[in-house]
Structure 1
Amino acid sequence: MRALLQRISQARVSVDGAVVGQSGPGLMVLVCAMQGDTEEHAEKLAAKIAKLRIFKDEAGKMNRSILDTGGSALVVSQFTLAADTSRGNRPGFANAAPPEDGERLYLAFARYLSSHSIAVETGQFGADMAVELVNDGPVTIWMEN
């Protein structure tokens, strides 16, 4: 699975003008299931993100996790993280999991992240979403497993 994490002070995702998920302060997690991914991949990525020390401590150093801060997470599916731009000018998405697997693994990832006592809200899989966020830092981290 692939994820793009953004440390946020706030974020929300809307579908057709209605807010379907929001978070902050904490993390915006854009996530993509790749061909061959399993629930084990989703669980491992969620555990790594829960413990990732990217929040400031009292000395201003990135030394605290979302667990340490009591932050929340907004998890949004984004198959475009599977983009292959190695040929031509149009990205290919053949490496993304099929939609049925993608949705199942996206929801499993959100569930596993929530199992770490992190408040998690989600976007709407497959929808045309409007995503708004205030990036804190900015801190943006790419992860893959």
Structure 2
Amino acid sequence: MTAGEEPSAHERHEQYSGLVTRLSALSVDAVLLLIASVAVGFGVPALWASVEGSAPGWLKDGAEIVAALLPFLYFWLSWCVTGQTLGGVLFGIAVLRPDGSRVGAPRAALRAFFGLLFAPIWLAGMVTTVLDPRRRAAHDIVMGTAVRRL
């Protein structure tokens, strides 16, 4: 393509991440979050108990709350700061606005909240990536986002 030439439909389509890449990145994120949540929720009180004999209730409760909030915080901060989770970094994709700009904190928070709250519906909505020219899932269309290759 020369300067000033419009990209072809195929080239525009290839700028966006497809279903397999998105699910692969999400799988990496899920494994990382499982490990981190278990380490925080159970590991911190267990470590305390190994030193002191037993973990206080406030520490157990606090660790459980942090472990429960961890997935939301992970996705929200990743998407609003860089657009990329660690899975996204590994697979070279980022959640952005359709124009290529950053998602922003409110939109990233809504995307993370509803994605975690309605995970089965969120995953089912990924089917639209094979139909949409920008490979957007149903939640991307609703949230005004796109997952682009970097």
Could you tell me the TM-score, scaled by structure 1's length?
Answer: 0.25
Larger radius of gyration: 2
Give the TM-score normalised by structure 2: 0.25
More helix by share: 2
RCO comparison, higher one (Cα < 8 Å, 6+): 1
Task: Choose between structure 1 and 2: higher strand proportion.
Answer: 1
